[in-house]
Amino acid sequence: MTALARTELHSALEASSGRSAKTVYGGHEHVLRQTLISLRAGEALAEHNNPGEATVQVLHGRVVLAAGEESWSGWTGDLIIVPDAPHSVTAVEDSSILLTVVKLR
């Protein structure tokens, strides 16, 4: 996972969008999906709905997950439970996260 995070972060830093993602497990045909997402500092995943229960594990860097008026900071090694509400994720530093989702809908 560390090597994949490093590779995806390198791709994010090179990409014009400032981000890169790779499905580690699952996909649309599975209930469980794990995706490694890397973001260049200052880049964000725009506000979106949560398709089920989800967590964000910070593999590298620092991110902020925001939902409405609330926000949670996560540093390397932290696990953030994603609320069942529209939310966004912003990279404070160059970051890699593991998004785990169990689709309920």
DSSP state letter for 12: H
Residues of the chain with pLDDT under 70: 105
For residue 105, what pLDDT is reported? Answer: 60
3-state secondary structure of 78: coil
Going 83 to 45 to 72 to 77, the CA torsion angle's sign is positive
Strands 62-67 and 70-75: antiparallel
**Global model pTM greater than 0.75:** yes
3-state secondary structure of 10: helix
Q: Which domains are assigned to the chain?
A: 2-103 (2.60.120.10)
For residue 32, what pLDDT is reported? Answer: 94
For residue 24, what pLDDT is reported? Answer: 96
Query: What type of residue is 24?
Result: V
For residue 21, what pLDDT is reported? Answer: 97
For residue 104, what pLDDT is reported? Answer: 78
